[in-house]
Amino acid sequence: MSTHLARLLAVSAALTLCLPQALAHDSWISRAGHRNAAGEWCCGEGDCFMVPGKDVKATAVGYRLLNGETVPYAEAQPSPDGEFWRCKRPDGSRRCFFAPPPTD
């Protein structure tokens, strides 16, 4: 019985790790069919991830992410859910970036 329980726990843990990616894919980004300025779809399978606001800094030229990337303000799209989102290509480069509307 303990082997069966261990397998069940392992499967549950694996599903829990995959769930956030699945939810990000089935988000407002994919449902609304958002595209970037080049016409690429923002969201493909597991491409979009929420970026915690504490990991984003507004600078004079754009949003600075923890990974060192700066997203120019002109390339950021409005995020209706009030969160930051980054969508990536298969090579990891940024496809789309969503930011909450500025507050006054």
> CB–CB of 61/52 below 8 Å?
no
> CB–CB of 65/55 below 8 Å?
yes
How much is the pTM? Answer: 0.71
* pLDDT, tens digit, 9 for 90 and up, residues 1-48: 566 544 544 444 444 444 444 444 456 787 878 888 888 888 876 789
pLDDT higher than threshold 60 for residue 102: yes
Q: What is the pLDDT of residue 17?
A: 42
Place 87 in a pLDDT band, splitting at 50, 70 and 90.
very high
Gap between the Cα atoms of 72 and 42, Å rounded: 17
Closest CA relative to residue 93, chosen from 34, 40, 25, 24: 40
Show me where the domains of the chain are located: 2-99
